[in-house]
Amino acid sequence: MARSNPNLLAELRALRAALAPGMRLLGIDPGSETIGLALSDVSSQIASPYGALRRQRLRDNAAEIAAIAAQEGVGGLIIGLPFLLDGGFGPAAQAAWDWGQALGSMTRLPLAFWDERLSSAAVNRMLINEADLSRKKRAMRVDRAAAAYMLQAALNASSPPAGGETKPRGQKTPRNP
């Protein structure tokens, strides 16, 4: 996956820092026909596919997402942004941004955005190569798997380093004699 936008990473880290203990994150891949959903564990380390919603009026989808959030203990949303391959912000990313902002207002959940370009392609490739699923079966699974792929990438990028400290790149760790 391409490098993430530093502003998106800062927003994501702020969202994670503001989560109450035990709250989950809901990853959302807003497609034109279906909305893929993925859920983090309570430690925000592992993303799992959750399901998919049929794209409807925003008000209806917001009500469904708010109900899922209440049922699953979700404290924030991570919305996928389909950047252009060159990292540009095209019409699809603008539509996802606008939709996500409106969704956040309607659900009253804090949100952050994450670069999800190529997530569907990566998931489709995996399902073809490793799961040996037919095109019809893949279509039913790809949206929620793409949401999990995007959410896992966001969790990985925004996780605090192990031990709380980082070392500069290329610096070797001294060995004990």
Query: For the ranges 24-28, 38-42, 104-108, 173-177, which has the lowest average pLDDT?
Result: 173-177
Q: Set out the domains of the chain in order of their start, with CATH numbers.
A: 7-159 (3.30.420.140)
Residue 55 to residues 22, 64, 73, 127: CA-CA distances in angstroms?
Answer: 29, 11, 23, 23
Phi and psi dihedrals of 42, rounded to 5? -70, -15
Q: What is the pLDDT of residue 129?
A: 58
DSSP 118: T
- 3-class SS string, 22-47: CCEEEEEEECCCEEEEEEECCCCCCE
Task: Give the Cα separation of 120 and 168 in Å (integer).
Answer: 33
| Per-residue pLDDT at 42 | 95
The neighbour count for residue 177, using CB atoms within 10 Å, is 3
Res 149: pLDDT: 86
Displacement of CA 175 from its chain's centroid (Å): 38
pTM above 0.85, yes or no: no
Q: What digits encode the pLDDT tens for the residues 74-113?
A: 999 999 998 877 878 889 889 999 999 999 999 999 999 9
pLDDT of res. 52: 92
| Bridge partners, 51 (sequence order) | 37
> What is the tens place of the pLDDT at every residue in 105-146?
999 999 999 988 766 656 556 655 555 556 655 555 777 888
